[in-house]
Structures are given as C-alpha cells and as structure tokens.
Amino acid sequence: MKLRTQLTVFTIVRTVFNTAHRMMYPFLGVFARGLGVDITTFSLVVSSRSFIGMFAPFVSSISDQRGRKFGMLAGITIFTLAVGLVAVAPSFITLSIALVFGLIGKFLFDPAMQAYLGDRVPYNRRGLALSVTEIGWSLAFIGGIPLMGLLIAKFGWSAPFPLLAVLGVGLFIVIWKMIPREDPHHEPADGPWANFRTVLTHKSALAGISVALWASAANEMVNLIFGVWLEDRFALKIAALGAASAVIGISELGGEGLVALFTDRLGKPRALALGLTASAISSLALPFLGRTEVGALIGLFFFYITFEFVMVSHVPMMTEVLPGARATVMSFNITGHSIGRGIGALLATFVYHSFGFPVVAGLAMFFNLIGLLALRRMSK
C-alpha cells in the first residue's frame, strides 16, 4: 500500500487517540461536575496519567523486538478496551482507569508508527512525513473535541466513550490489513536492555528528551488551565469551550503546516530553536492579550501554533539520534513529554488558584527557555 494512504490512516488513528486524550482539558470542569468531584481532585487524576509516561520505554520498545505492526495493533487494542470500559460502566473509577490505559495504548502506537516511518522515509524528507501524522493533534481540537462537546451537552459526560470504542475497533481492522507482516526495513532487536543502556548513555539523546520535557511542562501549564481560565474570566459555556478548542486546533494545524514547509529546509535544530523562542514569547504575551475574549483566543492561537511547531520539528530530529533503536528513543521521548506534562499539571491548578494566570504564563515562558538551553546541548 502506498505511503500516502498509510499516512492518512495513521493521521486518523492519532486523531481518535488525541481526541480522547485532549478532551479532558477544555472540559475539565464539566467532567469534574459530572463525576461529582472537585476540579483539583480530577486534575490530579489527569496529572497522574502523565507520570505513567515514565514507564513508556518498557511498553513502547516492544516494537523494536516484535515489530512495528505488533506495536501499533497492541496500542489500538489497549486504547479500545480502555474507552470501552467507560462506555459500559461510566464512573470516576472506570474513567480514571481508562485515562491511564488509554495513554498506555497511545504510548504503544505512536513510537511504533514513528519508527515505521523513520525506517522508510529519508531524513531530509522525514519532517514532512511526520508532520502529516501530527495533524492528528490539531484535528482532535478542530473536529474531535467540538463533537465530543456536543455529545456531552446532549447526553452527559460519558457520551463520547461508546463512539471512541467503535472507532477503535474499526481502526484495528484497518491497520491489521494495511501493514504487512514481513518488514524488510527493520531488524528485530534481541531485547530492550541493550537499547535502554544505549539511549541512557547517549548525551544527544538525553538532551533531546530534556527538550521534550521542558517544552511539554510549559504547554501543560496553560493546557490544563485554559478552559477553567476562560470559564472564570468570560463565563464561557460548554459549546463555547468546544469552539475555543477548535481555534486552538486551527492554530496547531498551522504549526504542522509550517513544519511541513520549513523544518526540512531550515534544518531541524534551527527550526526547533526558532520554535522554542517564539513559544516563550507567546507565553509571555498571553496575560496581556487575555484582557478580552477575542484577545485571549488570539493569544491561545499563537501559544499553540508555536508549541506545535516545536513538537513537530522535534520528532524527526529525535528519529535520527540513534537509528538502531528508533522505537526505544521515541519511547524515552514520550517519557520526557509525560514527565513534563506531569510537572505542568501538578503546578498549574495550584499556581492558578494561588497566584493567577499571569504567573502560570510566566512559568510556561521559563520552561521554554530551559528547553532552549537543552537544545544547545543536544546540537553539540
């Protein structure tokens, strides 16, 4: 099957995964009220799933041993079972379980898919190919989350989960038929421990993982709070929060488009440095632009377009750090993202309620600047 068709399917899978993952943010207060818990309690559940990412290499590296197809199918299976659990028995406990195992499914699918493309696409074109699959992030906000908002508004907080489960079953079948069993582009590794040791003793790999950590911490500071901030400041309701998510999705689509146009041409390190600098500036600008509803949406637009440019420029750079252990490197990269998101999630609600949104935005800027320093170490 042509690579273009595979890229389209991968993008659809990631859109479904990312819709389930990201809908917690704009509807954080809605889910908390529906479950009968306070926002702080529910945000702790959301943050706890981020720390599960510390164990990503132990599951994600399986595609270096068992093959890329196995990793992708295993990821879709776990995701489908997780959201299906909430569809069958909606409760705070089942949702908490689903948040964790849904993320494990994502940890399995994403590195396997990225390694699959890294095996096949030349490095000088890899930014374009991987930016296509990253559109799944923006499509989740443009289409997926507004749809989830409509379902929640009409049928209640658990309404998205039956649909997500059905989509998971369909995508499993498509991937199973689409990806060949034999893979001449990849030589299976004997075991994970040698690859773990290689990654953890490689300075550029560790610096690259650190970039992911700090950039994600910066993003999560705003990501977890923006829905509550918009509710508190402008009294936006569910439908309006879904529309705000669509604006963010459009900005991320713009970021992915910029990567497709410029990252391969500029070179990955230069593009990533520009992205981190712009992301720090957009973080600082958020409180000033957020004095009006329109200004807040414009600020969020620039915050997310710069962050997406950072993330999508970073992925192809990481796929070439250690070509012999691609899936393992990408799984440790997920660990960096997850720890960063966990740090941001733990800080965000406390800082917001204690000091206000300007301090949240200031910390986001600070974390981006640390990421820029880590990039300098990676590029040496």
What pLDDT digit, counting tens, does each position of 102-128 carry? 988 998 899 889 888 888 888 878 888
State how far the Cα of 370 lies from the Cα of 188, in Å rounded to an integer: 36
**pLDDT for position 134:** 83
* pTM across the whole model: 0.74
The reported pLDDT for the residue numbered 241 is: 64
> What's the average model confidence in pLDDT over 264-289?
90
What tens digit of pLDDT does each residue of 288-315 get? Answer: 888 888 888 888 889 989 988 998 888 8
Residue 81's pLDDT is 97
DSSP 55: G
Looking at residue 363, what is its pLDDT? 95
* Phi then psi dihedrals of residue 290, to 5 deg: -80, 15
Q: Summarize pLDDT for 160-178 with one digit per residue, the tens.
A: 999 999 999 999 999 999 9
**DSSP state string for 70-116:** HHHHHHHHHHHHHHHHHHHS-SHHHHHHHHHHHHHHHHHHHHHHHHH
Which of 6, 250, 215, 18 is CA-nearest to residue 129? 6
Residue 207's pLDDT is: 92
Instruction: Provide the angle, in degrees to the nearest 10, between the axes of the packed helices 145-155 and 3-22.
Output: 40
More confident position, 223 or 152: 152
The C-alpha angle with vertex 58 and arms to 96 and 204, in degrees rounded to 5, equals 115
Instruction: Identify the structural domains of the chain with CATH numbers, from first to last.
Output: 3-178+191-379 (1.20.1250.20)
Contact 29, 228 (CB under 8 A): yes
Q: How confident is the model at residue 95 (pLDDT cuts 50, 70, 90)?
A: very high
Give the whole-angstrom CA distance, residue 160 versus residue 145: 10
**Percent of the chain whose pLDDT exceeds 90:** 31
User: Greater confidence, 151 or 263?
Assistant: 151
Q: What is the pLDDT of residue 151?
A: 93
SS3 354: helix
Which residue matches tokens 């998971």? 168
List, for residues 41-70, the tens digit of each pLDDT value: 887 777 777 667 677 777 766 777 677 888
Residue 378: what pLDDT? 80
Contact between 209 and 333 (Cβ < 8 Å):
yes
Residue 186: pLDDT band by 50, 70, 90 thresholds?
Answer: low
The continuous run of DSSP H or E covering 306 comes out as: helix 293-319
Question: What type of residue sits at position 200?
Answer: L
Q: Kindly state the average pLDDT of the residues 324-351.
A: 84
pLDDT band at 238, cuts 50/70/90? low
Local confidence band at 182 (pLDDT 50, 70, 90 cut-offs): low
Task: Tell me which residue of 237, 210, 17 sits closest to 112, measured CA to CA.
Answer: 17
